[in-house]
Structure formats: C-alpha cells, structure tokens
Structure 1
Amino acid sequence: MADEIGVAGNRVRSFVERVEQLELEIAELNEGKKEVFAEAKGEGFDVKILREIIKLRKLDKDERDEQETLLDVYMRAMETAEPEDVAKAA
C-alpha cells in the first residue's frame, strides 16, 4: 500500500532487500573465486595466465582470432621499430 506521499513502502523495502541479498551472494561468490585462485596458485599455476584464459574463453572464436591477430601485428611492428623511435614514443 502507498503511504501519505504515494510511495509503496513495502515494495521499496522488497527491492532494497533483494538487492542487498544479491550483494551478499556476489560477495560470497567472489570469496569462492578467490579461494579457487589461491588453490591454483598453491599448486604452482600462474593465476595471471588463468585469468587471461578465462577472459579469452568469454570471447567468441572470431573475436578471439581478431584479438590474437592484432596482438601479433602490434608485436611485430614493435620488433621492427628503431630503438630511438620507441624511446621517443615513451
């Protein structure tokens, strides 16, 4: 029901409480993710590389191929650049 100012207080409370619950669940999931990365690191895996794999797996094949091609092009361009050109760019 709406109160004196025309706002349904119960409905507002419902939205706020649902968002708060979702925030708690997100925090728990993030903690779980942290634990998995800590376990992987403890077994000698490079967490930075694992994160990169996860990021790449989110891309579709065409996007991933395009990204790999651009990375290769840029790396080759840097390798052929004169050292003083690189210093000037920095």
Structure 2
Amino acid sequence: MSEGVVAADQLRLFIERVERLEEEKKGISDDIKDVYAEAKANGYDTKTMRKVVALRRLETHVRQEADALLETYRNALGLA
C-alpha cells in the first residue's frame, strides 16, 4: 500500500470516531435537556440550576473569590 492510501484510511477512521462521538454528545445533550425539563415541571428554576451547575464546576478557591467579588460589587451598589 502506498502512504497516501494508508493516510486516507487513517483519516477516515479519525473522522468516523469523531462522528460517533458527536452522536453520543447529542444524546447526552438531549438527556440533560430532559432533566432540566423534568426539574422545571417540578417547579424548579432551571436558570438558577444551570448557574449552580456552573459554580460546582469551579474549584473551591475560584468560586470563593468570585463570591467575594460579587458581594463587594453588590455592597458598592447597595444591593446587599
């Protein structure tokens, strides 16, 4: 086999792997959407839930710094 054929085969395999992963990602995204819809049907505010999920992704010290800064800004604007 020539190098061009081998490279094309390898490229095709990479593309097929990416396509399978994209399908899986879509499925997971749909599952997450369903969970938020269920939570909303049970009276939860999904916008706030999304913020909490984002906050939980942060490292503790980063989240604490963000909270402190937000509190400082709220106090400066009289929103506390």
TM-score, shorter chain, exceeding 0.5: yes
Q: Percent identity?
A: 39
Q: Does residue 1:37 correspond to 2:36, yes or no?
A: yes
Consecutive unaligned residues in structure 1, runs of 5 or more:
81-90
Q: Does residue 1:78 correspond to 2:77, yes or no?
A: yes
How far is 1:7 from its partner?
Answer: 5.9
TM normalised by structure 1 equals 0.79
Relative to structure 1, the CA distance from residue 2 to residue 31 in structure 2 (aligned partners, 3 Å threshold; closer, same or farther) is: farther
Which of structure 1's runs of 4+ aligned residues deviate more than 2 A? none
Count of matched residue positions in the alignment of Structure 1 and Structure 2: 79
Q: Do the aligned partners of 1:41 and 1:47 also contact (CA within 8 Å) in 2? A: yes
Query: What is the correspondence of 1:1-20 to structure 2 with a 5 Å cutoff?
Result: 1-2=1-2, 5=4, 8-20=7-19
Consecutive unaligned residues in structure 2, runs of 5 or more:
none
Q: Do the aligned partners of 1:37 and 1:47 also contact (CA within 8 Å) in 2? A: yes
Q: State how far apart, in whole Å, the 2-side matches of 1:10 and 1:49 are.
A: 47
Deviation readout 1:27-77 (Å, 9 max, x if unpaired): 000000000000000000010111111011111111111000000001111
How far is 1:79 from its partner?
Answer: 1.9
